[in-house]
Structure 1
Amino acid sequence: MKSFLMKSAAAAVMAWAVTGAQAQELKIGYVNSDRVLRDATPAKNAQAKLEAEFSKREKDLADMANRLKAASDKLEKDAPTLAEAERNRRQRDLIDQDREFQRKRREFQEDLNQRKNEELAAVVERANKVIKQIFESEKYDLIIQEAVFAGPRLDITDKVIKALNGPASK
């Protein structure tokens, strides 16, 4: 549906551009949002902030996974010599530890995704303000953020990244 709407909008713009081309020059720009979110300094800062915020929990989860694996390997190695009651007790302990690990991993992923969305939203909001400023100051008729194809002449992504990286946007 979104693709259909984008194609319809692009067709309408092109039809308008062809009919209006004789009257005045149409000024269109294109911004590659993925590149902005990957290359702009605020996006890189957000990524670094997230890594710093979540690195300890990620390390703790990795340590927990290693301990769980070691305990599982030890049980597998010791199982033939263990009494059935002891083997069953260790298996239950492993199952409980695995459940706890899965719960913590799921919580970690949910927290990370939420914070990533928050940080991305802030970067997108700043980028949109910069795009609007460029739109108004350079008198664009249309700036598109998602396009199937866009020639390099229309690409203003570098302008947006440069403006985001500049001291005025901070």
Structure 2
Amino acid sequence: MKNIFSLLVLILLISCNGIAQTSSKEKKTYTIEKTNAEWKKELTAKQYYILREAGTEKPFSSSFNTNKTKGTYVCAACETPLYKSEYKYDSGSGWPSFDRAIKKNVELDIDYKIGYARTELKCNTCGGHLGHSFDDGPKNTTGKRHCINGDALKFTTK
């Protein structure tokens, strides 16, 4: 009888754990939400691939990598201000890099697309994928490196 009870408890624990691991988290709603068809009409193919399909552009392919003009980098999909030029630095990674975002305009999420957890960065207004955050940034500021796809951005001198 004791063995049967132990077996039932074990089965119950395993089934509860399995359910907890497979439950989906709630989908966040964004201020700007559009259908895939609407986004495809508004964005270039590269922008759509990066912002809506969480793609990655080739390293050293963005003109923003070497941009030293003062201004603001905004979301290419919804023009939300994301990064100030004074937050930008040359990380040598091949992508525009920033040590911080404009407060509350970039969402941090977890992405397991390559088999382990990474901190994904998204526009907090439209949910567009921007890039990833790493802990190898400048130690004299935040220590963070926001590695951003240039095609996810537009630049304004405002």
- TM-score under structure 2 normalisation? 0.25
- TM-score under structure 1 normalisation? 0.24
In terms of fraction of residues, the more helix-rich structure is 1
> Which structure would you say has the larger RCO, counting Cα contacts within 8 Å and 6 or more residues apart?
1
In terms of fraction of residues, the more strand-rich structure is 2
